Amino acid sequence: MEKAINRQQVLLQHLNPSASSFSSHQNNSALSASACLAGDSAAYQRTNVFGDDVVIVAAYRTALCKSKRGGFKDTYPDDLLAPVLRAVIEKTNLNPSEVGDIVVGTVLAPGSQRASECRMAAFYAGFPETVPVRTVNRQCSSGLQAVADVAAAIKAGFYEIGIGAGLESMTTNPMAWEGSVNPRVKQMEQAQNCLLPMGITSENVAHRFGVTRQEQDQAAVESHRKAAAATASGKFKDEIVPVATKIVDPKTGDEKPVTISVDDGIRANTSVSDLGKLKPVFKKNGTTTAGNSSQVSDGAGAVLLMKRSVAMRKGLPILGVFRTFAAVGVDPAIMGVGPAVAIPAAVKSAGLELHDVDLFEINEAFASQFIYCQKKLELDPQKINVNGGAMAIGHPLGATGARCVATLLHEMKRRGKDCRFGVVSMCIGTGMGAAAVFERGDGVDELCNARKVETNSLLSKDAR
């Protein structure tokens, strides 16, 4: 903040009239430096017209449930996606025919089959045949990539309203390699490392960067503690859409109708001593266990985006503003470090510094990589995953990005003026990272007091 004030004072020295022409009293009352809402982020500039901002007006998710054992074990993938697609339309009273595209992030299902299921889900949700649907797969960032793709399309003028969503049923489509592997892979180490089990990459991060078993187990405990507290206080009710489905008894085949509205993987009583009893899963003397890794889950999420001018014309409350997105590549053998590279790239693109960000949602694929990224970027633990993360809530691969956006924006709304900028980030299998920067919906006011000038010598790009 002090640097920003100093910059203002230097500028004002050039703008104030000289003492020879005006009295000292007039000089003192003319112009003065003051703090701005953005804090010490003088580089932050809106390069687009206010009404052309891409904004989020709704973001919802299903509860996340344990794969093969949880509340969605007998739910078809399209029946997971349909409720969140319906929710973003019904809760905003938007005519579904106005949606320009629906983009769904999804990872494990065969591409053509999942594309058909997503189209079917759109029909179940009440969308007309005129609204197109497509899928996108960038591994664990697929849900966030879907949101970014829609934002980019709106910015490009392809359409004014779109939905970025995410879907994964790890019950229906478990992680597996189909078919043979090209023998050429043996000739290149980086290509070979793309085939490493994710747990091995976690062990690589822990070994290479000195992340201890104790640290990893403690991080898992904190994730469960915060998620349990958020659930108990009703925080997730703002973002979770209840899903009416069924549970089938595996022994009798009897079906029981249920409504799922609570994440079922959170263990409030998890302790370091309990987790310490678990054996490593991927390496004999390793540190990565089932307890300090993300949960294998089923779930879906959807985010409704549009131009700010459209949202204002419709009278819709603005939950957040999409600012920037970055995807980066890293060493496949330590793919978990992705957020440590992607976050600075996205934040810099927004014209911000890391300390300008008030909240982070960083996917907890593994405690090892989560801890590494936090330490590497020197992030305040009080700003990260304040309502728990994937070790407690779950990680349905294609849906995680949409889930994180919903969780982040609703928390930013609750915090109000004390929380302006937020970041969603995750590591990506085969060695990548992704991050996006969001701004609280009411954190920016229209620049109605900008003086219209006719010359090109502008002090602010916003005055154009």
- Kindly report, residue by residue over 203-226, the tens digit of the pLDDT: 999 999 999 999 999 999 999 999
Catalytic residue among 395, 404, 410, 419: 395
Which of the following is catalytic: 118, 373, 404, 427?
427
pLDDT, tens only, 274-317: 999 999 999 999 999 999 999 999 999 999 999 999 999 999 99
pLDDT of residue 176: 83
CA–CA distance, 457 with 237 (Å, rounded to integer): 50
pLDDT at site 186: 92
Give yes or no: 395 in active site.
yes
242 by Cβ neighbours in 10 Å (0-12 / 13-18 / 19+) ranks as middle
CA angle 436, 441, 446 (to 5 degrees): 115
Question: In whole angstroms, what is the distance from residue 60 CA to residue 339 CA?
Answer: 24
Residue 51 pLDDT:
75
* Residue 118 bears catalytic tag: no
pLDDT for 346: 98
What is the rounded CA–CA span in Å between residue 428 and residue 337?
Answer: 9
- In order along its 464 residues, the chain shows pLDDT tens digits of 566 566 666 666 665 655 444 444 444 444 555 555 444 444 444 545 677 999 999 999 999 999 999 999 999 999 999 999 999 999 999 999 999 999 999 999 999 999 999 999 999 999 999 999 999 999 999 999 999 999 999 999 999 999 999 999 999 998 888 889 999 999 999 999 999 999 999 999 999 999 999 999 999 999 999 999 999 999 999 999 999 999 999 999 999 999 999 999 999 999 999 999 999 999 999 999 999 999 999 999 999 999 999 999 999 999 999 999 999 999 999 999 999 999 999 999 999 999 999 999 999 999 999 999 999 999 999 999 999 999 999 999 999 999 999 999 999 999 998 899 999 999 999 999 999 999 998 766 554 444 444 555 444 444 44
* Residues 397, 301: Cα–Cα separation, whole Å: 11
Beta-sheet pairing, 65-66 with 432-440 = unpaired
Residue pair 161/310 in contact (Cβ under 8 Å)? The answer is: yes
What is the predicted pLDDT for the residue at 127? 98
* Residue 40 confidence (pLDDT): 44
In angstroms, rounded to a whole number, what is the distance separating the alpha carbons of residues 214 and 234? Answer: 30
The pLDDT of residue 46 is 52
Q: Which residues contact 254 (CB under 8 A, 6 or more apart)?
A: 248
448 is catalytic: no
Which position among 118, 140, 404, 419 bears the catalytic label? 140
Q: Identity (one letter) of the amino acid at 216?
A: Q
The number of beta carbons lying within 10 Å of the beta carbon of residue 99 is 27
Alpha carbons 356 and 44: distance in angstroms, whole number: 10
Q: How far apart are CA 415 and CA 408, in angstroms?
A: 11
Given the DSSP bridges, would you call strands 133-136 and 101-105 parallel, antiparallel or unpaired? parallel
As a whole number of angstroms, the distance between CA 332 and CA 190 comes to 7
What is the distance of C-alpha 161 from the center of its chain?
19
- Check residue 1 and give its pLDDT: 56
CATH number listed for the domain at residues 53-174+188-441: 3.40.47.10
Q: CA–CA separation, 168 vs 323, rounded Å?
A: 26
What's the pLDDT score for residue 314? 96
pTM of the model: 0.86
Name the residue among 198, 217, 207, 211 with its Cα closest to residue 428: 198
What does the domain layout of the chain look like in residue ranges?
53-174+188-441
Contacts of 87 (CB under 8 A, 6+ apart): 58, 60, 241, 302
Report how far residue 118's alpha carbon sits from residue 129's, in angstroms, rounded to the nearest whole number.
13
- Token look-up 């430096």 returns 33
* Model pLDDT, residue 39: 46
Listed in sequence order, the residues at least 6 apart from 306 whose beta carbon sits closer than 8 Å to its beta carbon are 54, 55, 57, 154, 160, 161, 162, 316
Distance of CA 113 to the CA centre of its chain: 26
Please provide residue 201's backbone torsions phi and psi, each rounded to the nearest 5 degrees: -65, -30
